[in-house]
Amino acid sequence: MPVIRLLPETANKAWQALIETGEPVHRIPPAQDSRYVISHYQLARLQQLQLKFEILAETDSDSFPNFSKKEKDLPHKKKQTSWYQSFKQEMLKKHPELAEWTKEQFVLEFERLSRKAAEGLPFENLEEMENFMRRERFDSRRY
């Protein structure tokens, strides 16, 4: 994630643009330095608006770094991965053939599994399921 410094002449507009993206912004102490860790999306937004800022560094992960300790004092940490990446790695370990599947194969398999799951549901349609969830007009004697 990029580490930037907001320049005084556009700091207010840049800060507003960062907040409007709806993504988190991490301020690096001390506050007077106006240094922030932002997402790549936020960086692109600042560039799109042509606001002035200085790129100081790029962190090596998609998580916010811990600036409260000096880097030499931090224990070695395994690079964090998203839940999706972890799940994908586990699935590929169990089923290596998935690595060669095309998008169309995944779509067909998803549809097949969805139909299989739907066969086991005691509802004829989505409206009946919603009524059941609201505890309205569901005749359990049918099943």
Contact of 110 with 116, CB cutoff 8 Å: no
Name the CATH architecture for the domain at 2-64.
2-Layer Sandwich (3.30)
Category of 50 on φ-ψ map: left (φ > 0), alpha (ψ -120 to 50) or beta: left
What is the domain partition of the chain in residue ranges? 2-64, 83-136
Instruction: Convert the pLDDT of each residue in 66-122 to its tens digit.
Output: 555 444 544 444 555 678 788 888 888 998 998 898 889 988 988 888 888 777 777
Instruction: Convert the pLDDT of each residue in 29-74 to its tens digit.
Output: 776 777 888 888 888 888 888 888 888 877 655 555 555 544 454 4
Neighbours of 36 (CB within 10 A): 21
Distance CA 125, CA 99 (A): 35
